[in-house]
Structure 1
Amino acid sequence: MLEFGDKVLVAVSGGQDSVASIYLLLQIRNFFNLDLHVFHLDHMLRGDISKEDAQFVKALAEKEGLPSTILSFDVPLYAAEKNLSVEEGAREARYMLFKKVANEIGANKVALGHTVDDQVETFLMCLLRGSGLKGLRAIPPVRDIFIRPLIEISRRETEEYCRAQGIEFKVDASNFEFTYLRNKIRHNLIPYLEEYNPNLKETILRTIEVVGDDERFLDEIASKEFNRVSVIKEGLIKFSLDDLKALSVAIRRRVLRMGIEILKGDLKGVEFKHIKDLLLDAEKMSKLRRDIPGQIAIIKEYNNIILIRRDLLEKRGHFEVILSGPGKIEIPELNIEFEVCITEVKGDLSSEKGILKDKFCLTKGEANLVANLDADKVHFPIQVRNHLPGDKFFPLGLKGEKKLQDYFVDVKLPERLRDKVPIILSEGEIIWVVGHRIDDRFKVTKETQRILNIKSQFKDNNNF
C-alpha cells in the first residue's frame, strides 16, 4: 500500500473508521516518511450536521498540524442530474473529487477508511444485485491510487481503538437510516444470517479471498486471449466470431468485457444481459446490433463481432469536391488529402515497376494509397465524392460492369464504411474507387503516353 516518501490524501468523514485511519497513519508517518493531507467532503445531505462534521475534521487536522482540504458538493443535485440514487451519486462524486484534489496537491495515494465490515456488506450487496466473480471480490485493498489501510480491521476494533486512545469522533446518524441498502444489510440482514452461521463474516471473508484468487487467474488468461484475438483501432475493437466461439464461455465473456472497458473507459452500467447470448444471436443472424450504456454498440459484420462507438455508425453526409487540374485537394469530411500529377512516359513502359507489373495499378501503404491511370483517358475537372445509388464501374481485373453497391458486398466492405469511401470521377465516369479498384477503362497500357498519378494521404486509416 505504501512506499517510502508517499504523499497521501486521507479521506476523513469524521466517523470512527476514518478518524482511526488518520491516527494510524500518523503513527507510521515517520517510518515511511509520509506527507499526509486531510480531505473532507460535505455531501450537503444533512444541513447543519454536515457543517459540524466539516468543522470537526478541519479542527482535527489543525490539532495534528496537518494541511486539509474541506469541500462542499451538492450531491442531491448531482445525483438528480445523473439519474442516480443519492447513494450512487455520493459515491461517484467522492471518487471524482478524490482524484481531483489528489492531482491538485500532488498526492500519489488516497487512503480510504473501509473496514472488514464494509467488505462483508459490499459482498452481500453485490450478491443481492447479481454479480459475477469481479463484483464478489468486494473491495480491493489497493486499486490504482486508492489504498485501504483498515480493510482487515473491524468496525468494532476501530471504535475500541478510538475510545482506548481518547480520540474523539462523530457518529453519523445516516448510518441508521434504512433508506440505504447498505444500512439494511448492516443492521438487518447480517444479524439475521448470523443466526444460521455465527461465523458469517469470517466465512464471507474466506469466500472473498478464494473468489479473488480465481478471478485474478481467469483475468490473466482472458487478457492473453484478448491480445491474441482482438484488433484495436480508433473507436472500435474487432473480434473474429470463430476466434470467440473457440474460447470457453467464461473467458469469452471476460474478453468482451475487457473490450468494452477499453472502449468505454469503465464498465458502469454494463450488465450480464448485455453480453449474454450475444454469440448465439450472432450465429443465427446475418446482422446484429446491441446498444449498451456509454454510447457503445456491439455489431456483427460478416464473420466479425465489432465493439464500436455509436457515433461511428452514423451516416456521413454527402460530400463533393472538384479538382480542375493537377495539384492538391482536401476532403475535410474524411480528413484526406489528394495530390494529382501528370508525368510523361519515357522508354519501355512494360519495364516500369509498380505500373504494369502491378495489375491493379494500386499500391497500399500504412497510410497512403496511390493509383496510376492513363492521363489521356481522363479529362479535367475531376470530381471526388462519396458513392450514390446507381453508381457503376468496370473493376480492373473483373469482367464487365458492376454496381458499386454489389462490389462493396462482394469485397465484404462493412456497410458503415461505404459512404466514407471517396469515389473519383471524370466526366461522370468512375475512374477510381479509392482504396479498392481503378476502372479498367482508365488503366495504364503499353500504349500509354502520359500517366496520371493520384496519391492520397489518409490522416487516419480506419476507413479501409
Structure 2
Amino acid sequence: MLDRLKNNIAQNFPFLENKKLFLATSGGLDSIVMAHLFKQLNYTIALAHCNFQLRGLESFADQNFVQDFALANDIPVFITQFDTEAFAKDYKLSTQVAARDLRYNWFYELLETEKFDYILTAHHADDNIETFLINLSRGTGLEGLVGIPAQNDKIIRPLLPFSREEIANYAHENKIEWREDSSNASDKYLRNKIRHDLVPLLKELNPHFLTSFQKTQSHLQESQAMVEDASIMVYQQVVKQEEDAFYFDLHQLKKLPNYSSYLYQWLRDFGFSAWDDIYNLVESQSGKQVLSAEFRLLKDRETLILTPIDFANDQQEYFIEEEFQDVNVPLNLSFEKVDAIFIPTIRTIFVDQEKLEFPLVLRRWNDGDNFQPFGMEGKSKKVSKLFKDEKLSLLEKENIWVLWSGTKIVWIVGLRQDERFKVDNNTSNILKIELQ
C-alpha cells in the first residue's frame, strides 16, 4: 500500500513534495493509517484533531488517543473543541453539516496561522461509493455522481484509490491501533445504512464492484468535463453580465433543445433549490421571481435577471442635512453651492436652495409617487408612468432612488429633475447636486 500511495502522489499530487501538510485525524482507522503512511514517507506533517463533543466521554477519549499517537510518533498535533450542537442550533443546521462547517473553517484557519500548505483528509474508495449512493437516492445532477474530488482547493484526499478493506489490512499487518466511533454502528444515519446493508450486497452481487464503480465514475467525470465545456460555449451566446447582474436572453435560451439543463448548470452555484420554479419562470409573466438565500432570479419580458439580494438597501431612508457636501450611502452624491448653472444632465441638476426643506430624504420610489417633470410647469406625472415611457426594466426600476424635500420630489436620481425646485430669475442660492 505504501508503494501504491507513493505512485498516486507522484502521478496526481507531485506538488506535495517539500510542503507542510496537516493531516485531519479523528483517531479512526482511516486517518490513523494515513498518518502512519505519511510518517513512513518522511513528509513534514502535523495532525489536526476536532473534538465535536457529540459523544460525551468518548469524544475526549478520541482526543486523548490522537494526542498519545502524536507523542509516540513524534508528530506535532493541534487540537480544538467545538460546541457543535449549540452551533447547529444557532445557525439552524443539521449536526452533520454544522460539524463539517466547523471542521473545514478551522482547517483553513490553521493553514493560515501555522503557515502550512495543505490539509489531507482520509476519504477512501468506499466513502466515494457511499456518497454516490446518497446523492443518487436524493436526486442529483451529474456533479453529485462524479464522486468526491481528489483535490478541492487546499484539501487533498490521497487515499481515494484505496478501499476500506485495503486500509484495514494495512493496519492489521502493521499492528496499528485505532479508535472505533460508536456512532458508526448506528443505522439511524443514511450513510451507515448504505455502508452496512447496501454496499455489502452490491459487492456480493459483483465481487469486482469497486473496480467497476471506479471505471464508471471515471466515465462520468469525462462526461461532466464535456458538459462544462459545452455549457461555457452556450453561456457566451445567452448570458451577458453588467456589474453584478446577469441577463439571460430567453429568445436565445429557448432555441436550445434542453434549456433547463443549461439553467441548472449555470445557476447551481447560487444556492437555488426550487428548480421546477426556475424552469417555469421561462414561460411566466414579467415580475415573477425565484429566491435563494442570497440571490434572486427575476423574469422581465424576454429576459431572466440574476442579482444579489440587497438586504441593506431594501426600504431604508437616508437623511441629508443642509451642511452635507458629500453622501456616500446608498449613492455617491455631492452638494455644491455654485454661482452659475450649465445645462443639466441625468447625473447633474441645479436647484434653488431656498426652496428646499432640510433634511432632504433619499429613499426608494413607491407606486403612488408623483412629481412635476422639469419643463412641464403645473403638470404632474406618476413616477411609474415615467418608467414606462423610459422603457425601464424591472431591475432598473428597483434600483431607482428618489430625493425628497418635505412632501415633494426634488429629483428622480439619475433620471429626471422636478420642475418645482428649478433655478429661476429670483434664485439667489444655487445648489448643484451631482451623482458621482
Match of 1:60 in 2: 69
Q: Which amino acid aligns with 1:5?
A: N
What's the RMSD between the two structures over aligned residues?
3.6
Find 1:116's aligned residue among 125, 137, 141: 125
- 1:362 correspondence with 2:361: no
In 2, distance between residues paired with 1:419 and 1:443?
25
Q: What's the counterpart of residue 296 of structure 2?
A: 297
Q: State how 1:314-333 maps to structure 2 within 5 Å.
A: 315-319=314-318, 321=320, 323=322, 329-331=325-327
In the alignment, is the contact (CA less than 8 A) between 2:260 and 2:279 conserved in 1? no
- Taking the TM superposition and a 5 Å limit, the aligned residue runs for 1:62-461 are 62-223=71-232, 225-226=234-235, 229-231=239-241, 233=243, 237-246=246-255, 248-258=259-269, 260=270, 267=271, 270-271=272-273, 274-292=274-292, 294-312=293-311, 315-319=314-318, 321=320, 323=322, 329-331=325-327, 334-344=330-340, 355=343, 361-362=344-345, 369-371=347-349, 373=350, 378=352, 380-382=354-356, 384-385=360-361, 386=363, 387=365, 389-394=368-373, 402-411=381-390, 412=392, 414=394, 417=397, 420-423=400-403, 432-438=411-417, 454-458=432-436
User: Alignment partner of 1:206: what SS?
Assistant: helix
TM-score (norm 2): 0.81
Once residues 340 and 180 of structure 2 are traced to their aligned partners in structure 1, the CA distance between those partners, rounded to angstroms, is 89
Runs of 5+ unmatched residues, structure 2: 1-12
Shift of 1:307: 3.1
Match of 1:263 in 2: none
What TM-score do you get using the length of structure 1 for normalisation? 0.77
The CA distance in 2 between the partners of 1:418 and 1:277, in whole Å, is 22
Confirm or deny that 1:27 pairs with 2:40: yes
Task: Tell me how far apart the structure 2 counterparts of residues 313 and 328 of structure 1 sit (CA, whole Å).
Answer: 22
Task: Decide whether the 8 Å contact of 1:122 with 1:139 is kept in 2.
Answer: yes
Contact 1:296–1:310, Cα closer than 8 Å, also in 2:
yes
Q: CA deviation at 1:315?
A: 4.0
Structure 2 residue aligned with 1:3, among 11, 16, 22? 16
Please say if 1:16 is aligned against 2:15: no
**CA deviation digits over 1:209-266, x for unaligned, max 9?**
11122223322443455566142545x54434445445533222211224x1xxxxxx
Gaps of 5+ in 1: 261-266, 346-353, 356-360, 364-368, 459-464
1:179 Cα deviation (Å)? 1.4
Paired AA for residue 40 in structure 2:
Q
1:254 partner letter:
Q
Amino acid at match of 1:362: T
**What letter matches 1:112 in structure 2?**
T
Question: How many residues of Structure 1 are paired with residues of Structure 2 in the alignment?
Answer: 414
Identity over the aligned pairs, expressed in percent? 25
Query: Which range moved further: 174-183 or 333-342?
Result: 333-342
> Which amino acid in the other structure matches residue 348 of structure 2?
V
Greater shift after overlay, 141-150 or 55-64?
Answer: 55-64
2:297/2:304 contact within 8 Å kept = yes
Measure the CA separation in 2 of the matches of 1:157 and 1:279. Answer: 45
| Residue identity opposite 1:422 in structure 2 | V
Give 1:60 shift.
Answer: 1.6
Alpha-carbon distance in 1 for matches of 2:220, 2:426? 71
Deviates more, 1:34-43 or 1:177-186: 34-43
How far, CA to CA, are the matches of 1:244 and 1:457 in structure 2?
36
Check 1:138–1:421 CA distance in 2 against 1; reply closer, same or farther (3 A cut). Answer: same
Distance 1:243 1:5, change over 3 A: farther
Alpha carbons of structure 1 residues 26 and 428: separation in structure 2 relative to 1, 3 Å: closer
Per-residue CA deviations over 1:117-157 (Å, capped at 9, x if unaligned) read: 11111111111111111111121111111111110011111
Give 2:3's aligned residue: none
Whole-Å separation in 2 of the counterparts to 1:448 and 1:83: 63
In structure 2, what residue type is equivalent to 1:290?
A: V
**Farther-moved stretch of structure 1 (143-152 vs 333-342):** 333-342
Preserved CA contact (<8 Å) 1:322 1:381: no
Q: 2:46 aligns with which of 37, 42, 56?
A: 37
Paired amino acid for 2:432? I
**Cα separation, partners in 2 of 1:303 and 1:441, compared to 1, 3 Å:** farther
Deviation of the 1:328 alpha carbon: 5.1
> For the Cα contact (< 8 Å) 1:342–1:450, is it kept in 2?
no
Matches of 2:435 and 2:266, distance apart in 1: 34
Shift of 1:404: 1.9
Q: Mean alpha-carbon deviation: is it higher for 152-161 or for 52-61? A: 52-61
The one-character-per-residue Cα deviations of 1:46-102 (angstroms, maximum 9, x if unpaired) are 333322222221122122221101222233333344434333333333223222323
Q: Distance in 2 between matches of 1:153 and 1:250?
A: 34
Deviation at 1:200, TM superposition (A): 2.5
